[in-house]
Amino acid sequence: MKKDNKNFQDQILPLRDEIDAIDAKILSLLARRQAQVEKVVALKKIHSIPVYHPAREEDLISRLRLQSQNHGLDPDFMENLYRVILRQSRVKQTQKMEVKGVRPDAKILVIGGEGQMGSLFANLFTKSGYAVRILTEHNWDHARDLCQDIDLALVSVPIERTVQVIEKISPFLPSTALLADLTSVKKKPVARMLSTHKGPVLGVHPLFGPTLSCLDKQIIVVTPGRDETACGWFTEQLSLWGAVIVKSSPDEHDEIMEIVQALRHFATFCFGDFLCHRQAKLSRTLEFSSPIYRLELGMVGRLFAQDPALYAQIIFATKGRRALLKEFILSLGRHVDMLETNDKQLFVDKFRHVAKWFGPFSDQAMRESTFLIDKLIERF
């Protein structure tokens, strides 16, 4: 037995040494790749080119999947590996781009700049070399002076105060200044900016929270109001910081946000509220849970770990949102008879009807959720 063990050790040691040598080469190649990325960053900074290039990344992934098959490797493994590498590369590039200003001579006023989202954008502008001024309710006495010669006034206050703040600040703004807001509703704020300010107007909605360290691939919706050309430097700056810009009208934005934000958050709230009302044993359910249940429950728990006042603003922001949510609640009653009559066939029919409506997205959702589940299994 000892002889067999010695033979095993004698045979495996050279193999392990070779693996170690290969790992060292991989690290060396990754370092060389990063050095090339640094050169790309320098070139992009000179020409103000955005970090994220979707077509380039997807072409690379497709090519690597094909090459991995030719080498007898798992294409999914190769894609997962390179997604991590590309993500790290984008983050590094974005951090470098944060010090690149499209108009570094511009003066920025962030109204509500001591709040979380306002602070995030104030810091981004500061890193990029802009002169940033902060206006809050505590120094409003100096609003007129702070507005002198500014190029961008960015309103970042709670939704219910946005229109009022726009009305108060507009008389102090230079006629050439760009006026923009960061709220999650756009129709009323954009309309009020247009009616009170004669210069460029742009609605902006960051679809992320204020705790990010990087804007890599984060979506920002812009809703043009007036003089898109004069607003172009601001949207270009957002792209340089790594954001993906989605253009919309204020009406379309608010209609879609009723679904994407209000309905999604409210449905999650209702699920959590029901579990609480039933006094469900969360820890015990997790012992019985599949990865998908843990993922779904994790999203519910995530909601209740955050600021309720913020979500109240989002959910109750407009009459349209509240009407949609009432419609959602009433729609649940349509299924009561199906349960009372134990009508399984009706359920199957409704299921198939909805599945047909979802169409090809169901296959996409299956792939994406499977990826998330696999990652969750790896982590926990």
pLDDT of res. 85: 86
How many domains does the chain contain in total? 3
Assess whether 214 and 155 both reside in one domain.
Answer: yes
Q: Is residue 226 part of a domain?
A: yes
pLDDT of res. 189: 97
Assess whether 241 and 264 both reside in one domain.
Answer: no
Q: Is residue 379 part of a domain?
A: no
Q: Does the pLDDT value for residue 216 go beyond 80? A: yes
Among 71, 97, 123, the domain-final residue is 97
Q: Does the pLDDT value for residue 193 go beyond 90? A: yes
Mean of the per-residue pLDDT values of the chain: 90
Q: Is residue 69 part of a domain?
A: yes
Assess whether 156 and 242 both reside in one domain.
Answer: yes
pLDDT in tens, 224-278: 999 999 999 999 999 988 899 999 999 999 999 999 999 999 999 999 999 999 9
Assess whether 243 and 259 both reside in one domain.
Answer: no
Assess whether 117 and 190 both reside in one domain.
Answer: yes
Q: Is residue 80 part of a domain?
A: yes
Assess whether 117 and 233 both reside in one domain.
Answer: yes
Extract long-range pairs of 174-179: CB within 8 Å, 24+ residues apart: 174/147, 174/148, 174/149, 174/150, 174/199, 175/199, 176/151, 176/200, 176/230, 177/147, 177/150, 177/151, 177/152, 177/153, 178/151, 178/152, 178/153, 178/202, 178/230, 178/231, 178/234, 179/153, 179/155
pLDDT of res. 167: 97
How much of the chain exceeds pLDDT 90, in percent?
A: 65
Confidence of residue 371 (pLDDT cuts 50, 70, 90): confident
Three-state secondary structure of 225-276? EECHHHHHHHHHHHHHCCCEEEECCHHHHHHHHHHHHHHHHHHHHHHHHHHH
pLDDT in tens, 306-327: 999 989 999 999 999 999 999 9
Assess whether 120 and 213 both reside in one domain.
Answer: yes
CATH of the domain at 70: 1.20.59.10
CATH of the domain at 141: 3.40.50.720
Q: Is residue 154 helix, strand or coil?
A: strand
pLDDT of res. 264: 95
Among 204, 224, 248, the domain-final residue is 248
pLDDT in tens, 335-369: 999 999 999 999 999 999 999 999 999 988 888 88
- The residue segments making up the domain with residue 27 are 2-97
pLDDT of res. 338: 94
How much of the chain exceeds pLDDT 70, in percent?
A: 95
Assess whether 127 and 29 both reside in one domain.
Answer: no
Assess whether 244 and 185 both reside in one domain.
Answer: yes
Q: Is residue 353 part of a domain?
A: no
pLDDT in tens, 21-34: 999 999 999 889 88
Q: Is residue 190 part of a domain?
A: yes
Among 248, 273, 290, the domain-final residue is 248
